[in-house]
């Protein structure tokens, strides 16, 4: 009996609560009643049955459990304050008014169920009731001191709460905006217009509910939809507030694996540039394929082989019918190796033709060291990539009226580039290659150079000395240019933020037949870093398939959140919302 109202409470629920509150008084009855076949004998009236009404009152006011349904609770508009009965039953109140007793007494503050139900319709964390929230607030050491002060309507002095946590002090600064509605602590959020009817109440969320609530509002279909920190925080502020709200939201949202996988990192990894210079002529050639080019030429050419000598920048361009290994190898032998000799090394990407067995055998035959770039990192083969860009620009300007005859323009584009001085050392590729300036059609009007009868005797020595001077100047200027480029590139670069054993996502843009590229994530994984090969490359393995190992550039990696997101739970939640909408 609660005042003029009556509430029916299941007897077994009360029995369990009584045993917890009064182990000394009811231990014997508890054991005896359940000893017989594990069932409670309702025929016998024990001392516990006599005290059931009083115990029920304590449970309702104390909110330690909720052994009755919401419908039965809602039948009670207001519960009386029963401090005397509690002291009579528990008999645990000490004479010194210690902190524990004060805390237990504060739990008995008057509670209005109707008010809670009205306010609770728009701020319900999943699976929580108003009584659960009130209990969580009282058990939160950061909220409880301020909640007691709000109940007493007396703001404590700052010295009284100075030793408390930063969250408690933040609540103290918000004291004038805090209110108790039905025993639950809220913060009044005033509208910029100052109108009272536009004021809203923000629930002061206990610490133990922060993570669950933020994840729910971030992942909920039709609510959060995995938006970023700013939008998730804006939505939460409509209903909740707690000290450190931004920091907690940022940390939880940044740990979402779904966001990390489908959105990618906000700031991509960028390690310092590693210089890849060549100090001798014919030391390394850069090779790549340009195409397919549409329309095809009249002869059926569809691709262009581009080879660039690293030291001089001398380009070689050859039209191809197909980008097969045998056709590429034949073009290199005819237009590069037979004219300039076999280089020390050859750099390509990871195309199938360059990694084929035939191409590897050609490299072994000429004793050429085969180098290749890491996947999806074309900057390593920058000389060939940059020359392809130049080639495309010139082709667009020259073949506008003769698109199917584009192969005939390739020699003239290469000749013009070979005769142009480099921006760094001011020598043209032709001068670096042969030690003299190229004679072009525009030089015909200048006539023949003056003849020197004695020149033919000293010419070989003169050419050797001239080329030696040119190569020294080119090497020094290339080093200076490379240092300037590295300094410019490294402005926003940092050392590798990863270590062995870290979980990462791999940047892997791809196309799937029948699916729009806009609907395919560009990140896959997670992968685990096996070891860091150098400052730029790492060896990784797939977590769900350890046999899949790759060597990748560190710029393609993004850190995987340590906390695992319950994807199945998100799918269940999404399906529930879709069912509700239908």
Domain segments of the chain as ranges? 1-108, 111-256, 273-413, 419-443+453-489, 503-568
Least confident residue range of 390-394, 429-433, 435-439: 435-439
Provide the pLDDT for residue 217.
84
Which residues pair with residue 189 across a beta bridge? 200
Q: How confident is the model at residue 345 (pLDDT cuts 50, 70, 90)?
A: very high
Q: How far apart are CA 207 and CA 209, in angstroms?
A: 5
Task: Express as a percent the part of the chain with pLDDT over 70.
Answer: 69
Q: Do the beta carbons of residue 228 and residue 219 sit within 8 Å?
A: no
Provide the pLDDT for residue 127.
58
Least confident residue range of 379-383, 397-401, 525-529, 566-570: 566-570
pLDDT in tens, 201-233: 888 889 888 888 888 888 876 666 788 888 888
Q: How far apart are CA 495 and CA 136, in angstroms?
A: 45
Please tell us whether the domain made up of 503-568 is placed in CATH 3.90.950.10: no
Provide the pLDDT for residue 5.
45
Q: Provide the mean pLDDT of the chain.
A: 73
Helix, strand or coil for residue 506? strand
Q: How far apart are CA 233 and CA 231, in angstroms?
A: 5
pLDDT in tens, 40-70: 444 444 444 444 343 333 333 333 333 333 3
The CATH T-level fold of domain 111-256 is Endonuclease III; domain 1 (1.10.340)
Torsion (CA) 509, 553, 343, 338 in degrees, nearest 10: 0
The token pair that represents 10 in the structure block: 């299941």
Res 107 pLDDT > 70:
no
Q: Looking at residues 94-111, what average pLDDT do you find?
A: 48
Q: By 3-state DSSP, what share of the chain in percent is helix, strand and coil, each rounded to 5? A: 45, 15, 40
The token pair that represents 119 in the structure block: 């306010």
Res 333 pLDDT > 90:
yes
Cα 184 → chain centroid: 37
DSSP codes, 230-245:
HHHHHHHTTTEE-TTH
Neighbours of 431 (CB within 10 A): 22
3-state secondary structure 14-70: HHHHHHHHCHHHHHHHHHHHHHCCCCCCCCCCCHHHHCHHHHHHHHHHHCCCCCCCH
Q: Do the beta carbons of residue 252 and residue 233 sit within 8 Å?
A: no
User: Which backbone phi and psi does 531 adopt, to 5 degrees?
Assistant: -160, 155
Provide the pLDDT for residue 346.
94
Provide the pLDDT for residue 7.
45
The token pair that represents 141 in the structure block: 């050491």
In 3D space, the residue among 139, 200, 186, 144 whose CA is nearest the CA of residue 167 turns out to be 144
Write the CB contacts of 522 (distance below 8 Å, at least 6 apart in sequence): 264, 507, 508, 509, 510
The CATH T-level fold of domain 273-413 is Nucleotidyltransferase; domain 5 (3.30.420)
DSSP codes, 429-440:
HHHHHHSS----
Res 525 pLDDT > 60:
yes
Q: Is the peptide bond before 3 cis (omega within 30 degrees of 0)?
A: no
Q: Looking at residues 458-466, what average pLDDT do you find?
A: 71
């Amino acid at each position: 009996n609660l005042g003029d109202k009556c509430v029916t409470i299941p007897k077994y629920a009360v029995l369990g609560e009584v045993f917890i509150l009064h182990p000394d008084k009811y231990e014997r009855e508890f054991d005896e009643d359940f000893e017989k076949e594990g069932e409670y004998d309702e025929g016998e009236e024990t001392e516990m049955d006599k005290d059931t009404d009083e115990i029920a009152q304590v449970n309702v006011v104390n909110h330690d459990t909720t052994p009755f349904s919401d419908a039965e609770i809602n039948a009670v508009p207001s519960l009386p304050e029963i401090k005397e009965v509690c002291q009579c039953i528990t008999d645990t109140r000490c004479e010194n008014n210690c902190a524990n007793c004060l805390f237990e007494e504060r739990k008995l503050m008057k509670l209005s169920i109707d008010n809670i139900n009205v306010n609770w319709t728009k701020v319900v964390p999943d699976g929580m009731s108003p009584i659960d929230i009130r209990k969580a607030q009282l058990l939160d050491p950061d909220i409880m001191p301020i909640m007691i002060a709000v109940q007493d309507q007396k703001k404590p002095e700052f010295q009284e709460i100075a030793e408390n946590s930063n969250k408690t002090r933040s609540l103290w600064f918000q004291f004038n905006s805090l209110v108790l509605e039905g025993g639950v602590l809220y913060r009044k959020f005033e509208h910029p217009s100052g109108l009272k009817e536009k004021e809203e109440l923000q629930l002061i969320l206990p610490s133990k509910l922060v993570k669950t609530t933020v994840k729910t509002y971030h992942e909920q279909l039709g609510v959060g939809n995995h938006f970023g920190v700013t939008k998730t925080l804006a939505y939460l502020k409509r209903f909740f507030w707690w000290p450190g709200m931004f920091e907690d939201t940022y940390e939880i949202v940044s740990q979402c694996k779904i966001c990390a996988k489908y959105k990618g990192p906000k700031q991509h990894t960028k390690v310092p540039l590693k210089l890849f210079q060549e100090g001798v002529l014919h030391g390394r050639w850069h090779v790549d394929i340009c195409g397919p080019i549409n329309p095809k030429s009249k002869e059926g050419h569809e691709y262009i082989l581009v080879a660039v000598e690293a030291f001089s920048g001398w380009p070689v361009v050859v039209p191809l019918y197909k980008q097969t290994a045998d056709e590429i190898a034949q073009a290199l032998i005819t237009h590069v190796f037979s004219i300039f000799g076999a280089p020390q090394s050859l750099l390509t990407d990871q195309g199938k033709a360059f990694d084929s067995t035939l191409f590897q055998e050609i490299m072994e035959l000429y004793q050429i060291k085969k180098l290749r770039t890491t996947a999806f990192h074309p900057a390593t083969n920058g000389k060939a990539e940059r020359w392809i860009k130049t080639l495309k620009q010139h082709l667009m300007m020259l073949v506008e009226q003769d698109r199917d005859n584009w192969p005939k323009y390739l020699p003239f584009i290469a000749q013009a580039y070979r005769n142009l001085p480099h921006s760094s050392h001011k020598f043209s590729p032709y001068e670096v290659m042969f030690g003299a300036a190229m004679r072009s059609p525009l030089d015909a009007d200048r006539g023949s150079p003056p003849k020197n009868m004695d020149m033919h005797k000293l010419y070989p020595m003169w050419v050797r000395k001239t080329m030696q001077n040119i190569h020294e100047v080119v090497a020094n200027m290339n080093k200076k240019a490379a240092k300037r480029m590295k300094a410019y590139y490294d402005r926003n670069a940092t050392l590798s933020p990863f270590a062995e054993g870290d979980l990462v996502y791999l940047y892997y843009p791809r196309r799937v037949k029948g699916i729009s590229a806009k609907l395919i994530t560009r990140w896959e994984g997670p992968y685990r870093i096996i070891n860091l090969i150098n400052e730029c490359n790492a060896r990784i393995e797939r977590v769900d398939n350890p046999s899949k190992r790759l060597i990748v550039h560190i710029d393609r990696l993004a850190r995987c959140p340590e906390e695992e997101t319950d994807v199945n739970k998100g799918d269940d939640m999404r399906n529930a919302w879709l069912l509700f909408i239908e």
